[in-house]
Structure 1
């Protein structure tokens, strides 16, 4: 992994940056990040030899006792959890964090809401009893602030986290339209 490697889509690029920060120094920040992000679930994690993976189509490690899907988006989902959607079978998870007894699949959206078809497709990549946790970017940012506040990082880590937090303020809304007015489009078609 390389923090400066450009990924083709904006969402993938920012995922790459965040996961690279968490994986620095043998994934030193993965443990406190997960403990602040999902405190109840992480109580059961055995933190040992964590690994971070980006854009792996299949579970990068063997099946574990604890497997979670964490979806992160600026806004809460707009669809019912029980809504049946056509699955996006070509969907590749944005990232994974794996530890001794856990595998966590991450799906990130920097605008709008989670794509429930993607979440549904990702459920086939983890164990049948896996839990889905839907979070907002506010939760991720809070976990990163806690890492800084509690002195669990180096000055370099702190600088990189601050830089990420600065750009994450843009993860709020759907892309704005191109600005072409409907009347202009209608007249060009006629």
Structure 2
């Protein structure tokens, strides 16, 4: 294995370990010593890749946001209708949060940290803006194709994001009282109504 590949593999292992430590101990309880121990590397090696604990946390947050709010490199899938693409977004999000509950634990820990840490909040806001922008493209495409009404469909992006994050909060807080499948059905029905979806 080449040195660059080894270095990338070590950095990835450190980030994996940091995620696990945050999930187990919270951000406030996370130390570079715990991360190094979980990653099975020395502290000097950890600091070779990441100068500070905050540098590690910053990269972990990037990873979490990428997993939760995936923004495809292509603007959208031309082979499906705009609403089918929105349905796919919801389905992928549901599969992610139900199969990887630690993502929610870590995400909401960062969310709380962001209240007092502007750089963290800015990173979350930036991801939200990117996600809403992506969905806005889907909505505009739907209006142009006559699938959506222009009257209220501009509210679909913030509503979709609110529904996804609301599902996350309930799932992490009271999972036994929350039916995710029914929630998805009702949420998509509400989104269809707001979009003024026209079914041919």
Q: Do the structures match in fold with TM over 0.5?
A: no
Pick the structure with more helix per residue: 2
Higher share of residues assigned strand: 1
What TM-score, normalized by structure 2, do the two folds share?
A: 0.24
Structure number with bigger Rg: 2
User: Which protein, 1 or 2, shows the higher relative CO under an 8 Å CA cutoff with sep ≥ 6?
Assistant: 1
TM-score by length of 1: 0.24
